[in-house]
Amino acid sequence: MSQNDVEMIKRIYASFNARDIDAVLAVLSDDVAWANGMDGGHVHGRQAVRDYWTRQWAVISPHVEPVAFQETQDGAIAVEVIQSVFDLDGRPLEGQAHGLKDKTVTHIFRIEGDKIVRFDIGDAL
């Protein structure tokens, strides 16, 4: 795991939390496979990621904070993340009907060259 990859991933989280979609999309491959944390499965391609986040941010306000980085046996980067989900007024959610909630999860990034080609969500490390 290179320090450049870790720094890129940290910037992705900061950009996501700032709702700067374009900064995140700039480091995704054209045909990226991105985990859909609300509905399950994956969305494919940059425009699909943009659409997913736009839809997500219209109903909730998630915040993700990376706390640990680890290289997996197959060369991916696993990031332990504290995920907090708020309503659009900044209040913690209660009685959620979607798949997102406050918890610690693992985000797994697969990188080729300087682009993320796949993003998955798993249980905590």
Model's pTM, two decimal places?
0.86
* Per-residue pLDDT, 86: 80
Parallel, antiparallel or unpaired: strands 61-71 and 103-112: unpaired
* Per-residue pLDDT, 1: 77
Print pLDDT tens along the chain (125 aa).
789 999 999 999 999 999 999 999 999 999 999 999 888 899 999 999 999 999 999 988 889 999 999 999 999 999 999 988 887 887 776 655 444 556 788 999 999 999 999 999 987 65
Q: Using CA atoms, how far apart are residues 112 and 125, in angstroms rounded to an integer?
A: 23
Cβ atoms 50, 28 nearer than 8 A: no
Cβ atoms 96, 85 nearer than 8 A: yes
Topology (CATH level 3) of domain 3-122: Nuclear Transport Factor 2; Chain: A, (3.10.450)
DSSP reduced 3-state for 107: strand
**Domain range list for the chain:** 3-122
Reduced DSSP (H G I as helix, E B as strand, rest coil) percent helix, strand, coil of the chain, to 5: 25, 40, 35
